[in-house]
Amino acid sequence: MDNTAELKLNGKTFTLPTLEGTEQERAVDVSQLRAQSGYITLDDGYGNTGSCKSKITFIDGDAGILRYRGIPIEVLAEKSSFIEVAHLLINGKLPTSAELTRFSNLLTENELLHEDMKFHFEGFPTSSHPMAILSSMINAVSCFYPELLSGDPKQHFEVESARLLSQVRTIAAFAFRKSRGLPINYPKPALKYTANFLHMMFSNPYQEYALDPVVVRALDLIFLLHADHEQNCSTATVRMVASSKANMFASCAAGVCALWGPLHGGANQAVLEMLDEIHASGDDGSKFINAAKDKKSGKKLMGFGHRVYKNYDPRAKIIKQACDDVLSKLQISDPLLDIANKLEHAALHDSYFVERKLYPNVDFYSGIIMRALKIPTEMFTVIFAIGRMPGWIANYREVMEDNSGRIYRPRQVYVGPVNQTYVPIKERK
Ligand code: SDX
């Protein structure tokens, strides 16, 4: 492969280096372009721009491939668990049995929120969206551990990441309980990550939550499938904040905010609201699909399309199969699943979607499983955030440990007014 690219500008030729990643992705390195030519690049939505080199996750959008640290998502979904995958993403390797035990014990030791955090929950209106509570409370955690905000972050990374990964679950469950006027459930050290979360969400003083292995496994799989996904909007946000040397809590709280949007992690809640709307209207989906094709309608087929996948999202395939398994094991028949299947079939045979290579993404079926697990719709994106936390922590670590790393500071092309003068207020119209 030629290791340089030539760019002709105003009769001059500039030579730029190129590079190739371990999965044969190729890039032109434009880091010296402005110094050499005075030009910058402009790339709306960063569709063609790499912000970093990373060793964590690889996606081939055309082939529908997703690998965490080189291991295919299909293999991890079948053989691994969320916490084992969290260790893989954060530490770069599958844990030995002793390492997994140590990692799991660290999560248990750090599962409790500081008792004074409870007062913050009191202050939120019960109608608060749990994503607002989650981002606020993740930042609030750092107020109780000032020692984690000083000194070399590398020194306290292990305990800080364990505290964040463990407590994101506790905060989420407490937020849900508060929203329903229910007493909070403290985590149980005897329970592992996902089972403990379900206990904190659904146990009551008069009745312990009955842990169904099918439900625990299904939610653990949902967390695992959401654990990382290259430089998506929220992960890129975490890296942006981390690049200023802000702490892990601030960086990941920013990730929660970015994830909330309905074009990103908020899509799983929007999919359920879309399916509910279609179901309530008696439409078989065809009217909605027509609206989604009409730009003027402002509607999109939520859970469809992806910036990178121009093929079926491999996670959607796994979740769709899990959907069928879980609903049949729990003996649930959900009319929304029938509508989703019909929508998918119609869209995959409609030229508008086919021409634009729009396929179901991770959010299209995940809400149906979460509904079957009795997770309320407003908590869907919170579940996504819990799952994505290991990926955010792994990316935070990559930025934090990059000693040659620079602050992320994109350029722009100014298109505003020029040569303006100051007009005294009396003369303004
Ligand atoms: C996630 O990046 C990641 O990795 C994200 C994620 C992760 O794990 O982190 O995978 C998680 O966010 C999945 C995506 C969830 N969002 C949705 O399901 C919302 C619906 N999807 C769209 O909003 C859209 O597909 C995006 C946001 C996902 C991708 O947007 P792009 O890449 O900017 O594509 P685009 O908006 O430029 O669309 C290209 C064309 C446009 O039509 P034309 O201008 O060419 O005529 O496709 C159309 C769009 O109008 N289009 C859709 C559509 N998605 C794209 N039309 C109808 N319904 C849709 N869902």
Output the pLDDT for position 284: 85
* CA atoms of 56 and 395, how far apart (whole Å): 8
* CA atoms of 67 and 362, how far apart (whole Å): 15
List, for residues 271-302, the tens digit of each pLDDT value. Answer: 999 999 999 999 888 899 999 999 999 999 99
Predicted confidence (pLDDT) at residue 1 exceeds the cutoff of 70: no
Q: What percent of the chain has pLDDT over 90?
A: 97
Indicate the average pLDDT of the chain. Answer: 96
Whether 264 is in the pocket of ligand 1, judged by its Cβ within 6 Å, is yes
Torsion angle (degrees, nearest 10) of CA 224, 347, 49, 236: -30
Question: Closest by alpha carbon to 329, among 372, 366, 368?
Answer: 372
**Secondary element (H or E) of residue 60:** strand 57-60
List, for residues 46-97, the tens digit of each pLDDT value. Answer: 999 999 999 999 999 999 999 999 999 999 999 999 999 999 999 999 999 9
**Confidence band, pLDDT 50/70/90 cuts, at residue 148:** confident
Q: Could you identify the atom of ligand 1 that is nearest to the CA of residue 226?
A: 8
Output the pLDDT for position 246: 96
Whether 372 is in the pocket of ligand 1, judged by its Cβ within 6 Å, is no
Mean pLDDT is lowest, of 141-155, 180-194, 373-387, for 141-155
Average pLDDT, integer, range 263-269: 95
List, for residues 34-45, the tens digit of each pLDDT value. Answer: 999 999 999 999
Output the pLDDT for position 345: 94
Catalytic positions, written as ranges: 306, 363
Output the pLDDT for position 5: 97
Of all protein residues, the one whose alpha carbon is nearest to atom 25 of ligand 1 is: 305
Q: Could you identify the atom of ligand 1 that is nearest to the CA of residue 303?
A: 18
**Confidence band, pLDDT 50/70/90 cuts, at residue 187:** very high
